[in-house]
Amino acid sequence: MHTKAIVAREPTTHPTWGIEEVDIGSPANDEVLVKITATGICHTDILLSSIPTGNPLGIAYPKILGHEGAGIVQATGKNVTSVAVGDQVLLSYYSCSSCAQCQADKPMYCAQFHVENYVGRKGPTVCKASGEETWARFFGQSSFGEYSLVAETSVVKVTGLLESEKELSLFAPLGCGFQTGMGAIKNVAKAGKDDVVLIMGMGAVGMAGLMTAKIQDCKTIIALDRFPARLRLAEEVGATHTINTAVPDFEFQQAVRDISPNGASVVLDTTGVGKLIEEAYQSLAPMGKLVHVAMPPPDYRFSLDIARLFAAGKTITGCIEGNCLPSEAIPQMIQWYRKGIFPIDKLVSYYNGEQGIISAVKLHCWFHSTYAQRLVFRGGPVVVFHD
């Protein structure tokens, strides 16, 4: 099939993305051909297209990214049983279904997660102009295109859950960003009514965690960010308190303890900023939990006083995709949205394909603090391919 996709080339000082003509083959036995209606842009897309070749992760180019896709099934491989032609689907992460973790219902820790999700597979997608085979199946999907060959395990059927096909664009980010924040609070921290929850970073992941903390009836929900617009929105969707790290003479622990003298019982870090992580740990209440969902710089190390760790009963943990099973988490979030308690419509901004590229590059520059005119998204930016 002849179509178009956003192709990432070898990066220089920023991701080198462009719309290119590509040819894609027929679905393999375990694949689904999806007409992509829309796809979210995640920091992971930006970060993993900023790494030169020869890296230890195995990232190579040209590459089609995108891992928050939504669309309509056009064809299926002969072994596919979960969806049929015409089904509306949302796309999430890949899992192999056969390793010990997958068999234990923990596919987010699949033995093949790194290779299949971050690296992907080469071929049978080909860049038409150059004839180069292209790395695709990023997160099992590579949704930055008009059409995509998607692994069946990355597909979640939502036929019957939508009020209109247009909602595919709204719900596209559910497959990663919103799912991660929701699950980090609900599944990992298991936050409840007695918890003081501190969420660091008010992007899509942080906002989803915040809204989930409200759903879980947490008594105190603190939103931390450096941008006033994000903090105002956080208050709209459930924050009881906000902390602006950009104020003069900011002192992290004092700011937290002014709100909760005993500290925070749950901290969700969506920033990956080392200084914030260390301050957050010190601000934990006894038996508090620090949950990480963001990647700090590769050389970052965090020293712990183990004696104080066990004396205070604190927990530090990471999680992938909020420990969520997409087939369960996505319908749950849609149900919450219908009830008006998970208002993701306040968080999503829409762009066409070319606008999405420009916005993503600006987002990358902001992400690395090199862009003077900082671009602040409310939450998950979504690229729309088909109206």
Mean pLDDT per 10-residue interval, the chain, length 387 residues: 90 75 93 94 85 86 94 98 98 98 98 95 78 91 94 98 94 95 99 98 95 98 96 97 97 98 98 95 98 89 90 96 98 98 92 68 49 38 65
pTM of the complete model? 0.92
Hey, what are 384's tokens? 């729309």
Domain architecture of the chain: domains with CATH:
2-175+347-385 (3.90.180.10), 181-320 (3.40.50.720)
pLDDT at 357: 64
pLDDT at 317: 97
pLDDT at 374: 32
Alpha carbon distance 49, 23 (integer Å) = 21
- Taking residue 15's Cβ as centre, other Cβ atoms within 10 Å add up to 23
DSSP letters for 78-121:
TT--S--TT-EEEE-----SSSHHHHTT-GGG-TTHIIIIII-E
Q: Which element (helix H / strand E) includes 210?
A: helix 204-215
- Residue 208 class from Cβ within 10 Å (0-12 exposed, 13-18 middle, 19+ buried)? buried
pLDDT at 88: 98
Hey, what are 255's tokens? 């700011």
Hey, what are 309's tokens? 């760790």
Q: Which residues pair with 8 in a beta bridge?
A: 17, 63
Alpha carbon distance 290, 302 (integer Å) = 13
